[in-house]
Every structure is written in C-alpha cells, then in structure tokens.
Amino acid sequence: MIVVMRNGATEAQIKDVCSMIESCGLEVHLSQGKERTIIGLVGDTRKVQEDRVKSYAGVNEILRVVKPYKLANRVFQPEDTVIEVDGVKIGGNNFTLMAGPCAIESREQLFRAAEEVKKSGAKVLRGSAYKPRTSPYSFQGLGEEGLKLLAEAKQKFGLVVETEVMDTRQVDLVAKYVDIVRVGTRNMQNFDLLKEVGKLNKPVILKRGMSATIKEWLMAAEYIMSEGNKEVILCERGIRTFETETRNSLDMCSIPMIKQLSHLPIIVDPSHSTGKRELVKPMSLASLAAGAHGLIIEVHPCPQEALCDGNQSLTPEMFEDIMVMIRKMAPLMDMVL
Ligand code: PEP
Ligand code: MN
C-alpha cells in the first residue's frame, strides 16, 4: 500500500501519518520528491485501515501495490535511486563505467588493467578474487590475497573497487576490502547470501540469474532491500536461450522494462552476455542507447594469457575504442560520464 500526500502537505502532516502507520507495526518507506511525497507501507498492510489513513490531513490518495516487490518498485519511489561511492555516482543520469579483469591473477596484471581502464575513463575497477567456475579443476581465484590487491589498487589508482562474493561465510571478509560487492548470476536466488549482503552498508551489484525472469530478479533485489540495504545495482548479463553462437542472449528489453518497474540503477555486462570480445562494443553502445546506467566490462592487459574468460576480455586498446564512442554518445542520451 502507498499513501500519496497532497502537494504542499506539511512536514507535521507527513510525520503524523508515518507515526500512525508505525504504531500499527509496519515499516515506513518515505520518498520525498520535488513534486510529491509518497509513504510506502512495508509489512502486513491488513493491520492498517484504509479509511483511517484517508482521514488524516494532507493525504491525497491511497494506492494498492499489486506487484510482489515493494521497496524496489517505482511506485514506491518515483525518483531514480542514485548511489554514491567515493564521489562516483551510479544511477539517474550518470553513465558509469566499470572495467577490469575477470579474475585477479597477480599484482602486475591487476595494476596494469587498473591503470589502463582508469586512463580511458572507468570509475570502478572490477576483478574477482573468488571465481564461480563450472569445473572444480579451473582456476578458482586468489582469495583474500586478491582482495588485498584490490584494496591496494584502490589506493594507488583512486578507483572504486568491486568484487564477487559467493558465500555467506565470505561476506564480512570481502566487505572489509572493497567498496561494492557483487552477487553473481549463479547466486541470484541464494536467499541466505542476499540476506547477508542486505545487512551491509555497501552497494550490491545484483546480476540477473541466467534463467531468471525480471520479476524473480526484482524479488531478489527485494530480499537485499528488506534487510535494510537499499543500494542495489541491477546488472543484466544475458540469459540462457536456445542460441549457442553467443555465450548468453543479452536481453536488451530488460533495460527499459526495469526502468519502468523499478527506481534502481541498471547496468549491463556485455562481456558475459556475449562471450565474444568482438561483440562487446556493439552491445555496449546498444546498452547506452537502451537507457542503461552503466557497463561492467572485462579488460585484460593480455587477454590471450588470461586464466579466465580470455575470449571475451578486451585489450586496453579495444576498451579505449569503445570509450571514444561512449563519450560521443552519452550526451545524446542526456547521460553524464
Ligand atoms: C563475473 O562478472 O565475474 C561473473 C562471473 O559473471 P556472471 O555471474 O554474470 O556469470
Ligand atoms: Mn568472467
């Protein structure tokens, strides 16, 4: 249920309504926009009588939210969520570039990647220390040593850093070293993990499950938000279809669809979506044109030597080449780099 206040409703009137709702044992989600104030009710709304709410001064109307996700719902919060980390903004009219290697392999590899992507305009350095590999015999990541290298790279290059967290037991350790944690596609419905990252005071990149519907994805975001963490960045990374030429099928429709349904930022991963480096540029530009709030791209100083996902990793030169176009296109989309 949401309560829409009249234009010009006073602070005292808003406070009265909120107190009444809280006294019924519900949580209040307040969205104070330029135009109007919206009070979202979270919890068992049967405990609140609609007529009673309507009788409060300043109340304009009461709407029922039919979708199962509330906190992530655009109806609850009409304005875009803009997340800020160390001065880097994600969401709204910001187009944020995140780039770096698939896996952190060594100091030299990570630092070379960091230097290059920073030079081209990336604001966030990506890199995994824990790798969810299909085969247990493949490189599994450097673990905490990798996290330490990320923290060093943050200091040295002045980049915001992000990494994947795969397990509830790693959450505190990972959060100690990075600015943004990422939940990968395979864990999108690991509800215990979602609840744990929901307790963090750091943004979470939530990748779309490879077979998840948009509704399931938003419900996963709701899990994180319902624990208190409202800083969720959705990431479209392609879904499984019958197609085998590409690694996944990039669902471009999800970008405008998510923006209609939710106020959360949505970024695109054109690397895992395609699995082919030559497809990364067209999909990056298409994502910007479709309204995405940013990209997360795999860049390796020497892709042919990569321990993971070399086929889809860009050389720094290829990344710069994409950035040349992004710099031209972003203003046309009213986006700020
Ligand atoms: C990644 O971004 O490193 C990754 C493993 O991606 P995904 O979870 O989308 O497969
Ligand atoms: Mn990868």
The contacts of residue 34 (CB under 8 Å, 6+ apart) are none
Report CA(303)–ligand 2 centroid distance (Å). 12
Residue 179 included in any domain: yes
The total of other beta-carbon atoms located within 10 Å of residue 62's CB is 16
279-306 residue pLDDT tens: 999 999 999 999 999 999 999 999 999 9
105 lines ligand 1 (CB under 6 A): no
Residue 70 included in any domain: no
Tell me: pLDDT of 34 over 90. Answer: no
- Residue 80 binned pLDDT confidence (cut-offs 50, 70, 90): very high
Strand-strand pairing, 2-5 and 37-42: antiparallel
The total of other beta-carbon atoms located within 10 Å of residue 324's CB is 11
Is the same domain home to 260 and 135?
yes
**CB contact at 8 A, 303 and 118:** no
Report CA(133)–ligand 2 centroid distance (Å). 9
170-228 residue pLDDT tens: 999 999 999 999 999 999 999 999 999 999 999 999 999 999 999 999 999 999 999 99
Is the same domain home to 59 and 93?
no
- Residue 4 binned pLDDT confidence (cut-offs 50, 70, 90): very high
Structural domain count, the chain: 2
- Residue 43 binned pLDDT confidence (cut-offs 50, 70, 90): confident
**Which pLDDT value is given to residue 9?**
93
Residue 126 included in any domain: yes
Rounded to whole angstroms, how far apart are CA atoms 337 and 328? Answer: 10
Is the same domain home to 194 and 284?
yes
Is the same domain home to 185 and 226?
yes
CATH number at residue 219: 3.20.20.70
**Which pLDDT value is given to residue 65?**
87
Q: Long-range contacts made by residues 303-307, C-beta under 8 angstroms, separation at least 24?
A: 303/277, 306/101, 306/102, 306/103, 306/105, 307/103, 307/105, 307/139
184 lines ligand 1 (CB under 6 A): yes
CATH number at residue 34: 3.30.70.1140
Is the same domain home to 174 and 274?
yes
Residue 29 included in any domain: yes
Range of the domain at 252: 83-333
Residue 173 burial by CB count (10 A; 0-12/13-18/19+): exposed, middle or buried?
A: middle
Is the same domain home to 201 and 286?
yes
The SS3 call for residue 198 is coil
Is the same domain home to 58 and 93?
no
Provide the whole-model pTM.
0.95
123-179 residue pLDDT tens: 999 999 999 999 999 999 999 999 999 999 999 999 999 999 999 999 999 999 999
Residue 71 included in any domain: no
Is the same domain home to 32 and 117?
no
Is the same domain home to 15 and 93?
no
Final residue belonging to a domain, choices 14, 29, 63: 63
Final residue belonging to a domain, choices 63, 94, 109: 63
237 lines ligand 1 (CB under 6 A): yes
| Runs of H (alpha helix) within the chain | 11-23, 50-54, 107-120, 144-157, 171-177, 191-197, 214-226, 254-261, 270-274, 277-290, 316-332
Is the same domain home to 56 and 95?
no
Residue 76 included in any domain: no
Residue 174 included in any domain: yes
- What are the φ/ψ torsions at residue 5 (nearest 5 degrees)? -85, 155
Is the same domain home to 211 and 296?
yes
Report CA(228)–ligand 1 centroid distance (Å). 25
- Residue 271 binned pLDDT confidence (cut-offs 50, 70, 90): very high
Report CA(275)–ligand 2 centroid distance (Å). 9
**Which pLDDT value is given to residue 46?**
87
**DSSP secondary structure of 50-100:** HHHHHTSTTEEEEE---SS--TTBTTT--SPP-EEETTEEEBTTB-EEEEE
Tell me: pLDDT of 16 over 80. Answer: yes
Residue 209 included in any domain: yes
State the average pLDDT for the chain.
Answer: 96
Residue 294 parent element (H or E):
strand 294-298
Is the same domain home to 20 and 114?
no
